[in-house]
Amino acid sequence: MSDEKKMKQKRHGRLPPNSSPITHHSSLLNRLDATFARLRQAGEKALIAYIMAGDPGLAETEQLVVALEQAGADIIELGVPFSDPIADGPVIQQAAERALRSGTSLRQILASVASLRRRTQIPIVLMVYYNSIHAMGLDSFCKEAQAAGVDGLIVPDMPPDEAGLLKGPAAEGGLDLIFLLAPTSTAARRNYVAKESQGFLYYVSITGITGAKIQNMAEVGKNVAKIRKATSTPVAVGFGVSTPEDAGKVAAMADGVIVGSAIVKQIAAHQQQSDMVSSVAAFVGSLKGAIRQASSQQHASA
C-alpha cells in the first residue's frame, strides 16, 4: 500500500491492523484533527492566533508561539511576509514590511518551525501567498514544510478550483489545504469550498480586508449554520474579530475563532519593550477566556 493511500486511510480511521503506520506523516496529518476533536470532547472552541513570522524578528516569533500556546491559543497561524498582500489590511501589511526589513525569508520561517517542534506540538498553519510557494517550487516547498512540522496551508490568492497543482504535493506531505469562503458566496460555491477544505474551513466574516469590524453577527451565525450543513469539517471564523467580546460571540456560533490584526497590533505596540511577549500573551489569554466562557454557556444551555 502506498504512503499516500495509508495517509488517507489513517485520516478516516481505516488503516488495516497489519499495516505499519507512517509515524511522521500521520502525526503531521492529524495534529489539526486531534486538536478539534479534543476541544469538541471538552465542549470548547478553538482559538486560532495569527502572527506575522519575523515581526519583529524570528527569535521573537518563536518566543511568541510558545507563550501564546501557554496563554490558551490552540492553533497558530503564521503569516509569511509578502510585498503585495491582497487580503491584508494596514496592520498586517505593516507587520509584513517589518518582517521583510528584518530579512525574513520562507526558508528561515520553515527553519523556525522546525526549531519550535522541539518545544511544542501545537498545530502550525502557514498563511502564504502563492508566489512565495511558486518561487521555491511546489514539490520542494511541500517537502520542506512537511519536514519542518507544518500542518496546513492557507493560500489566500489560490481558491480550491485553482489549487490543482498544489494538491498532489500537499497531500504527499500530509499538509491540509485550508480554503477561504466569502460571505458573498453562492450556495453552490459554499458547498464546493466546504467539500474541498481540509483541517478547517476559514469563513471570512466580512467583505473586505483583515482588521475591519464585523457589523452583523447574526448574519455570520446564519452563514456558519449553512456551511455546517454542507460539511463535517470544522468552521473557523476570521476577519473582524478584535476583542474578547467579539471572540466570545463568534465562539457561540463556530468551531474556531481566528484573531489576527488585534494580536499583531499588540506586537507592534510593545515591540520595543522587554515585556512584549508577556503583554501579547496576556491579550491572547483574555481572548481564550472569553471563548471558554461562551463555550461553557452554550454547553450549559444545550
Residue 27 inside a domain? The answer is no
Of 101, 169, 161, the residue nearest 133 (C-alpha): 169
Element (H, E) at 295: helix 276-301
**φ, ψ (nearest 5 deg) of residue 153:** -130, 135
Q: CATH number, domain at 236?
A: 3.20.20.70
Residue 123 inside a domain? The answer is yes
Q: Which of 77, 151, 246, 255 is catalytic?
A: 77
Residue 34 inside a domain? The answer is no
Q: C-alpha distances in angstroms, 61 versus 36, 96, 99, 169, 230?
A: 24, 13, 10, 27, 36
Q: Which of 88, 151, 176, 196 is catalytic?
A: 88
**157 assigned to active site:** no
- CB crowding 84-118: b at 16 or more within 10 Å, else e: ebebbbebbbbbbebbbeeebbbeebbebbeebbe
Instruction: Name the burial class of residue 293, with classes exposed (0-12), middle (13-18) and buried (19+) by CB atoms within 10 angstroms of its CB.
Output: middle
pLDDT tier, 26 (very low <50, low <70, confident <90, very high otherwise)? very low
CA separation for the pair 38, 44 (Å, rounded): 8
**pLDDT tens track for 211-255:** 556 768 899 999 999 999 999 999 999 998 999 999 999 999 999
Residue 50 three-state SS: strand
Of 4, 210, 10, 36, the residue nearest 123 (C-alpha): 36
Instruction: Name the burial class of residue 133, with classes exposed (0-12), middle (13-18) and buried (19+) by CB atoms within 10 angstroms of its CB.
Output: buried
Residue 15 inside a domain? The answer is no
**60 assigned to active site:** no
Q: How many domains does the chain have?
A: 1
Q: Which of 48-62, 83-97, 142-156, 205-219 has the lowest mean pLDDT?
A: 205-219
**pLDDT tens track for 76-103:** 999 999 988 776 788 999 999 999 999 9
Residue 6 inside a domain? The answer is no
Residue 64 inside a domain? The answer is yes
Which structural domain range is residue 249 located in?
Answer: 40-204+217-301
**pLDDT tens track for 163-178:** 999 999 999 999 999 9
Residue 272 inside a domain? The answer is yes
CB atoms within 10 A of CB 211: 20
Looking at residue 136, its pLDDT comes to 96
CA separation for the pair 250, 244 (Å, rounded): 10
Q: C-alpha distances in angstroms, 271 versus 88, 93, 135?
A: 20, 16, 30
Residue 8 inside a domain? The answer is no
Going by DSSP bridges, is the β-strand pair 124-127/152-154 parallel, antiparallel, or unpaired?
parallel
